[in-house]
Amino acid sequence: MVSARSGDVDFIQRVIHSKLSGFVHSTFKRTLNIQCLEDGELYTIACNEIDNGPNTLIVDLASFEDMNINAYDEVHSDNNIISIGNKMSITIDRANSWESILPTYPANTDVLKKNIKIMKQYIEIHGKSGGIKSKSVNESPFEQEMSKMIQERKGLLTDELVKKQLHHAVPHAVSLLGLGPGLTPSGDDFLVGLFTSFHLKNSPFVNYQWFFEEIERAAKTATNEISYIAIKKASVGKIRESIIALVNGLLEENEEHLILSLKKVLNIGSSSGTDIALGILTGLETNIKIGGTL
């Protein structure tokens, strides 16, 4: 029996109060995704080095490599235990509940502006290129064209957001869906970061839920299922723990904390962390330029 250390409060409540049944959607060294038949969403079982996140349960294992778990293995829950075929059983009895809660956008943005400069400089040196951050050298013709498309579409989206033309911004955001390299394409990761900044309490964008919903609806058919669930959750302000820690770091006058939290986000995936971080920066800078309310 494997013990769950912590998990998304909604995931834990689903297992406690209702049934979860489905099958293994995909497996990786440190995560496996479950397709839930009740609500159609993906749920993630993650090893102990992964941070908490929406629809995610963290278990006391370092790797799934020796578990022989395969796609389409049957999954069901009963009596606070999730069973994956006859290969693994997970008890949630001692799991700590975790909830995604974003901080408040500040009335005084002096510290935020200072930290944005620090974060930009750090990403310029240490961020991973190939997605939203262009490669400076050794770029193939395909990569050059992809980079050009990403930059153009990101620029068009940002221009409309700064002009407060949200209806005009939607098609440009949709044009980024599924665009770029990676299991979670760079355009999707950028939008997750952007949504994060816009969902801070008191952000000028936080009450424009229709904007997020339109992009989320388009994402369902425009990208893969793993990336879609991240966008779906971000569209209602549900973000993984390490990203929330980075946003908190940007709002505090503590450079050491900021860099530490930024390093953790930059280590997500290949270029995913950098793409998310640049989405956060774009969102925060847009918040600052607009100021007040829309």
DSSP string for residues in 50-84: SPP-TTEEEES-S-STTS---TT-EEEEETTEEEE
Q: Is the four-CA dihedral 286, 287, 290, 294 of positive or negative sign?
A: positive
The tokens for 23 are 């099958």
pTM assigned to the model? 0.93
> What are the DSSP E strand ranges found in the chain?
2-8, 21-27, 31-36, 42-46, 56-59, 74-78, 81-84, 88-91, 96-98
Distance CA(40)–CA(149), nearest Å, equals 32
Sequence ranges of the domains in the chain: 2-98, 109-291
Chain CA centroid to CA 188, Å: 9
Question: Closest Cα partner for 264 from 283, 284, 244, 281?
Answer: 244
Question: Closest Cα partner for 186 from 128, 271, 246?
Answer: 271
| pLDDT (0 to 100) of residue 155 | 95
| pLDDT (0 to 100) of residue 165 | 94
How many Cα atoms are found within 13 Å in the side-chain-facing hemisphere of 240?
25
- Quick check: 271 and 182 in contact, CB under 8 A? yes
Residue 240: CB partners within 8 Å, gap ≥ 6? Answer: 51, 52, 53, 54, 56, 100
The label of the residue with tokens 């979860």 reads: 20
C-alpha pair distances (Å), 162 with each of 98, 155, 205:
34, 11, 11
Q: For the chain, 294 residues long, give each residue's pLDDT as a single digit of tens.
A: 999 999 999 999 999 988 899 999 999 999 999 999 999 999 999 999 999 999 999 999 999 998 899 999 999 999 999 999 999 999 999 999 999 999 999 999 999 999 999 999 999 999 988 788 877 666 777 878 888 889 899 999 999 999 989 999 999 999 999 998 878 999 999 999 999 999 999 999 999 999 999 999 999 999 999 999 999 999 999 999 999 999 999 999 999 999 999 999 999 988 899 999 999 999 999 999 988 655
Q: What does CATH list as the number for 2-98?
A: 2.40.50
